[in-house]
Amino acid sequence: MRIGKQDNAITSICTSDATSITVRGLDLCEEVIGKWDFTSYFWLLVTGEVPTPQQRLFANATLCAIAEHGLVPSVVAARMTLAAGPEAWQGAVAAGLLGCGSVVLGSAEVAGRFYADLVRQAADERLSDAEAATAGIKALRAEKKPVPGFGHPLHSGGDPRALKLIALAQEQGVAGRHIAMLHAIRDALPDAIGRPLPINVNGAIPAVLLDVGFPLAALKGISLLARTASLIGHLQEESERPIGFIMSGAAADRIAFKSAV
């Protein structure tokens, strides 16, 4: 049984023959290996284009910003999985990535779509950024949804990663429509919800990347790639100094039992 479209059966990413491997039009062994840095290669793989120096800079900056932030849920899941199955690193990495959703780690994608929609709405309806931002916040509130990219349980005074990325974009002269919309949302929040909220790293990352030309559909890939590197670091430490079962025991001690009857 055929499911979905059956036409356009092509790929533009990679092909190979008996003597060579070609990736995005480049000979992998002669033109890439030993000559390209991985971040540039990642950009090429995703977009099909060689990154500009600024695009490479901000891909590097955002990957570094989101890779590591302590014993967050993805790390806990990975380390506890490795403790239970030390032979299955791939399973432990996968366990850490499977929770990449709208609340943790994958929220940059949700935020990016929200900002991009507001930028389009402002252009299509000839609204100011402030008007579009206020309308967007009200629509989210009507559905009892949080405003993506804002708020942080620890960095209540401002997420230092977000502040650094935005400052870097302004210094490099690449701050454009999406960062402007991010700031318009920030400025509209006190009136719209009754209190200010700081921009968090999952708000800054999509705004910065969209302004330098990274594709909207691939935004979650930044978090996945970055966190994979961090998970490997945590799993290496877990294999040498295990804390997975300690975390499991701490969870059992912390959660009280209450009969459902």
Q: What is the model's pTM?
A: 0.92
Nearest by Cα to 208 from 177, 186, 187: 177
**DSSP secondary structure letters along 167-188:** HHHHHHT---HHHHHHHHHHHH
Q: What is the pLDDT of residues 120-154, one digit of tens each?
A: 999 999 999 999 999 999 999 999 999 999 998 78
Mean pLDDT throughout 76-100? 94
The answer to whether the beta carbons of residues 238 and 79 sit under 8 Å apart is yes
Q: Phi and psi for 23 in degrees, rounded to 5? A: -120, 120
In the block, residue with structure tokens 């970055």:
226
Dist CA 260 CA 29 (whole Å): 62
Q: What is the pLDDT of residues 10-41, one digit of tens each?
A: 999 999 999 999 999 999 999 999 999 999 99
Secondary structure in 3-state letters for 10-47? CCCCEEECCCCEEECCEEHHHHHCCCCCHHHHHHHHHH
To the nearest whole number, what is the mean pLDDT of the chain?
94
- The percentage of the chain sitting over the pLDDT mark of 90, rounded to a whole number, equals 82
Confidence at 261, pLDDT banded by 50, 70, 90: low
Q: What is the pLDDT of residues 203-247, one digit of tens each?
A: 999 999 999 999 999 999 999 999 999 999 999 999 999 999 999
Q: Is the per-residue pLDDT at 101 higher than 90? A: no
Nearest by Cα to 185 from 150, 222, 152, 219: 150
- Delineate the domains of the chain, giving CATH numbers in brackets: 12-51 (no CATH), 107-218 (1.10.230.10)
Q: Is the per-residue pLDDT at 259 higher than 90? A: no
